[in-house]
Structure 1
Amino acid sequence: MLWLLFLVNAAGTVYGYMWYGNQLEYTWNHHPLWQLIFVPDSPTASLFFTLSLLYLLFPHAGKPSKAFTAIRMGIEALAVVTSMKYGIWAVAMIVGGAAQGDTLEWQHYMLIASHLGMAIEALLYVRFMIFKRMAARLATYWLILNDTVDYTCMVFPWLPEELEDDLAAVAAFTFGLSIFSYIGALLSLHYRNKKTKM
């Protein structure tokens, strides 16, 4: 099961970066290079989760150092909060665009299914991860930094045309979803810790 999840997430990550290809090229040509890292939100979330699965696939790969454990906790925390956030965010943008007249094609339904999967798998696999509240908080700071760069430097993921006049509402929703994802991660950790003590 873990290997299947790893392969699906790895393939989805590659596809996601390809999906962002035009926007990455546009950002490369029209924005400072440091902003490139803030463009491909969903595939980067998928990348973090894919890396987290490697820790679960190879749990006894040598005696982990403190640095290794800290890096693992950071990647796992980023995997959970970013997967929850961008899984929900992408679905909301597709549905919001459709509600205002955007025509949905088969790719939209594929993206809805895959992004819902991102959010669900993150919640399901928290119980196997080792990160704690501080790592979740730091991962949320990254989300808020990403949001800030997205909507001040205008490198947010391209939206359906129908939502372009709702940019302020989209930005507010995006920032709110970062906090929601943090709360979701904390609740998941609380449930994980409670189950561990039982």
Structure 2
Amino acid sequence: MTILFQILNKRWFLYLVLLLNAFGTIYGYIWYGEQLSDTPAIFLIFVPDSPTASLFFALVVIAFLLKKNWPLIEALAIVTLIKYGIWAVVMNILVLVVTGEISGVAIMLITSHAAMALQGMLYSPFYRIKAWHLIVVAIWTIHNDIIDYLFKMMPRYHMLDQYTISIGYFTFWLSIVSIFVAYLLCIKKERFNSKLTQ
């Protein structure tokens, strides 16, 4: 375990993680391009869920490279990485179940989003999140769910339209679980803690 965290803390590895997240963020915003083009301006910030999560984490990594912690951004990153990482994996598997088909893009999305959730948790010992940071992020996260499923701003998977209500219910509880996992990993007194040494 010590070796793993030593690698995670190496500058060359942090630069690699930053590069991968920058690429994923750019690709994600492009993926949302069509939906963003007809989204009302007031909702634009709430639509591109996964690329915004990876953007938060890219900012966390930049802070690490500067030997700093930006705890509010860390809280936004871990909750959204876990939530949208798992969400996208489940949705793409659900598409497979419903249609009986899976594309190369879907496999890439499953793999990359699983990695998103994993990286958010792996770097948690380096975060310096306080309770108020997580409370702010919890409000943001639940509010985002309301915008998505009350105002129909959720990511578009047209083949799953008939399951929108069930997906919305699942997403709400996924938010709660993600916030709770962030609490366990980042705030609970018995959590595993590590320092940036690069």
Matched, 1:184 2:163: no
Q: How far, CA to CA, are the matches of 2:16 and 2:137 in structure 1?
A: 26
Gap runs ≥5 in structure 2: 1-12
Deviations 1:19-72 (CA, angstroms, capped at 9, x unpaired)? 000100121xxxx31111111000000000000001111116xxxxxxxx7xx2
Matched, 1:111 2:109: yes
Range with greater deviation from structure 2 (186-195 or 140-149) = 186-195
User: Would the aligned equivalents of 1:127 and 1:192 in 2 still touch at CA under 8 Å?
Assistant: no
Q: How far, CA to CA, are the matches of 1:115 and 1:196 in structure 2?
A: 25
Note the C-alpha offset of 1:137. 2.0
TM-score (norm 1): 0.87
Q: How far, CA to CA, are the matches of 2:64 and 2:81 in structure 1?
A: 17
2:151 aligns with one of 147, 150, 153: 153
SS across alignment from 1:195 = coil
Note the C-alpha offset of 1:195. 3.4
Distance verdict in 2 for CA 1:194–1:178, change over 3 Å: closer
Note the C-alpha offset of 1:192. 7.7
Matched, 1:18 2:26: no
Aligned-pair RMSD on alpha carbons? 1.7
1:52 aligns with one of 41, 53, 60: 60
Aligned residues: 182
Q: How far, CA to CA, are the matches of 1:75 and 1:3 in structure 2?
A: 18
Q: How far, CA to CA, are the matches of 1:133 and 1:37 in structure 2?
A: 24
TM-score (norm 2): 0.87
Bigger proportion of residues as helix = 1
Gap runs ≥5 in structure 1: 61-68
Matched, 1:171 2:179: no
Instruction: Provide the identity percentage.
Output: 42
Q: Please show how residues 123-142 of structure 1 align to structure 2 within 5 Å.
A: 123-142=121-140
Amino acid at match of 1:137: I
Q: Please show how residues 76-115 of structure 1 align to structure 2 within 5 Å.
A: 76-115=74-113
Deviations 1:76-122 (CA, angstroms, capped at 9, x unpaired)? 10000000000000011011111111521111110001000000000
Q: How far, CA to CA, are the matches of 2:153 and 2:130 in structure 1?
A: 31
Q: How far, CA to CA, are the matches of 1:160 and 1:104 in structure 2?
A: 15
